[in-house]
Amino acid sequence: MDEHPNSGGPGKFVTRIAWLLIGLSILVTIVAIAQCVAFLHTLATIASIHQGSPLVGLTTTTLLALLARVALAGTFLVVSIGLLKRWRWARRAFLALATVGLASNAYGLVVALSSISSMPLPEDAAAPEIWIVRISMVLSITYPIAACLFLGWLMGKFMSRSLRQEFGPGTRDSS
């Protein structure tokens, strides 16, 4: 059951998803920028205390990873706005980003499953601590599964004929 007309006009589904993604990408962009600022502040503090750091390679790699996260979040914001405007390239870019997200979460699930299978519960821990460990184990599996299912469902919806028509010729396309 589609929530949008077959005439190629804008549908509520894409609009709602686009606004949701815009909000999430703004939040993720702010968090990524804050992480970069906090990391640079930490580096400056360490450098002032120790007069140089032996971990230059590690700090450079970490900084590049944080900057890549900012760039990815900014890209996702631009793509989300493109979805709202029904630009054809934005649907394709969203599918590419969703594929990366799906693969990343699938990898996270594999890592979580291998970590859980190789990590026994502590025998001398108190009952509340064991419950915390068990809950974190369940969440480390549940989140990637839910994310994979949601992204897979979204990708299926965005590849459907009716949604492709919303982004087809005659819509507000930037090309």
CA distance 132 to 175: 52
Helices 56-84 and 12-50: crossing angle in degrees, nearest 10, is 160
58 vs 127, residue with greater confidence:
127
Contacting residues for 123 by C-beta, under 8 A, at least 6 apart: none
Report residue 170 as tokens. 């005659």
Confidence label for 117 from pLDDT (cuts 50, 70 and 90):
confident
Residue 2 and residue 11 in contact, taking contact as beta carbons nearer than 8 Å: yes
Max mean pLDDT range (43-57, 86-100, 104-118): 86-100
Q: What percent of the chain has pLDDT over 90?
A: 49
54 falls in which pLDDT band (50, 70, 90)? low
* 161 touches 12 (CB < 8 A): no
Contact 165, 8 (CB under 8 A): yes
- Which letter does DSSP use for residue 85 in this model? T
Collect all residues with Cβ–Cβ distance below 8 Å to 82 and sequence separation of at least 6. Answer: 89, 90, 93, 94, 174
Q: What are the phi and psi torsion angles at 86 (to 5°)? A: 65, 35
Confidence of residue 158 (pLDDT cuts 50, 70, 90): very high
Q: What is the mean pLDDT of residues 156-162?
A: 92
User: If we measure between CA atoms, which residue out of 23, 130, 145, 39 comes closest to residue 73?
Assistant: 23
pLDDT at 170: 53
In whole numbers, what is the pLDDT of the chain averaged over residues? Answer: 83
Select the more confidently predicted residue: 170 or 79. Answer: 79
Q: Does 58 have pLDDT greater than 60?
A: yes
* Spatial distance between the Cα atoms of 135 and 138, rounded to a whole number of angstroms: 5
In this prediction, residue 22 has a pLDDT band, given cuts at 50, 70 and 90, of very high
DSSP 125-160: S-HHHHHHHHHHHHHHHHHHHHHHHHHHHHHHHHHS
| pLDDT > 80? residue 138 | yes
Are 48 and 128 spatial neighbours (Cβ–Cβ below 8 Å)?
A: no
For residue range 27-52, what is the model confidence (pLDDT) as tens digits?
Answer: 999 999 999 898 888 877 777 776 65
Domain positions in the chain: 12-166
